[in-house]
Amino acid sequence: MRKNNGGHGGVIINISSLAGLTPAAYQPVYSASKHGVIGFTRSIAALASIGNYGVRINSVCPAFVDTPLLESIEKEENMGELFKYKDRIKDMMKCYGVLDPSLIAKGMIDLIEDDASNGAVMKITTSRGIHFEEFGVQQKTKI
């Protein structure tokens, strides 16, 4: 994909989660992986900019979205000892709402179409819709 390696450039969107920006007591391993997605995205986006890859890498962090994944908490094999907290996760869904997948798709299209977006961390919640996490250390880089 890299322009300086025979590719034509492009856009990569990594899917994190709000659990990648906030603690998720009932999903610690999942939250750790989603925090990692954000760190990786921001790091490789900076590298792509420095190296003139012609590739933009961004991430999307939705809250709860109406997909079959939400049913995963109903299976103890998925939750392990935290299975006893599944109703608390369901309470969170009731509290925070569940997003329609089409809004996530819109956010991804926005990132694809915004040539200035690189290293962006897009958040999508029922309360605030599509918005961005801003980090003091390193702002979005442009390519």
Ligand X SMILES: NC(=O)C1=CN([C@@H]2O[C@H](COP(=O)(O)OP(=O)(O)OC[C@H]3O[C@@H](n4cnc5c(N)ncnc54)[C@H](O)[C@@H]3O)[C@@H](O)[C@H]2O)C=CC1
Task: List residues binding ligand X (CB under 6 A).
Answer: 15, 17, 62, 64-65, 67-70
| Least CB distance to ligand X at residue 3 (A) | 26
Report what 85 binds from ligand X, ligand LF5ATMIK, none; CB cut-off 5-8 Å by kind: none
Is 7 or 97 the residue whose CB approaches ligand X more closely? 97
Is 29 or 69 the residue whose CB approaches ligand LF5ATMIK more closely? 69
Report what 67 binds from ligand LF5ATMIK, ligand X, none; CB cut-off 5-8 Å by kind: ligand X
CB 61 within 8 A of CB 21: yes
Report the distance separating Cα 115 and Cα 33, nearest Å.
27
Is residue 26 annotated as part of the catalytic site, yes or no?
A: no
CB 118 within 8 A of CB 58: yes
> Sign of the CA dihedral 85, 89, 92, 94?
negative
Structural tokens at position 127: 């309360």
Just list the catalytic residues: 30
